Amino acid sequence: MKNARQSFGEDMKKLEGKASGSSDVVTSDVTHVSDATLRQFMGYHMKRAFNIIQSDLGRTLKPFDLRMLTYTALVLIVDNPGLRQSQLADAMDVERPNLVVIIDELERRELIVRDRVPTDRRAYALKVTLTGRQLYEKAVAAVTAHEEQLLQQLDGDTRQIVIAALKTIETNRGKA
């Protein structure tokens, strides 16, 4: 039986041979990838859960021709009539130049309009159109159903605890 040192030495020879043009192929004996170290970190769990939510949300929004960012922008504009683009960028935590692409898409689809702010010619107030409001209502209903289905195994108290924990993390942003 080989010990770890012998096995390592043989693996190194294979690698050296590969580097020198040898046809020996190094194969992996890994049959299961362990992420035990990563599972110690809350951020890792949050990212894995977010990946599932994001993927499912993408499928939920696809029939409305919305992405997570365009949906978020539309909801914020509907919920905050007259919102300025700079305020929307801050609320979404995106750079203002990146927001222009999102706003352009919503405006092109006639979901929102940009009106100049009379007191500041450089600023635009964002307002939803009737078409935008109708899409908002359908999309919010679909996202509500998506979230309910995805979180059905969590009771109301557990959901509130998770939300409170996430809010705490968000509030402490930049304080670490």
Whether the model pTM is above 0.85: no
* Domain annotation covers residue 2: no
Q: What is the CATH number of the domain that holds 111?
A: 1.10.10.10
Q: Which residues contact 117 (CB under 8 A, 6 or more apart)?
A: 84, 123, 124, 125
11, 14, 16, 123 from 25: Cα distances, Å: 10, 7, 11, 62
Taking only the tens of pLDDT, the chain with its 176 residues reads 555 555 555 655 555 555 555 555 667 787 889 999 999 999 999 999 999 999 999 999 999 999 999 999 999 999 999 999 999 999 999 998 889 999 999 999 999 999 988 888 888 899 999 999 999 999 999 999 999 999 999 999 999 999 999 999 988 876 65
* Domain annotation covers residue 35: no
How many domains is the chain built from? 1
Quote the domain boundaries for residue 104: 49-171
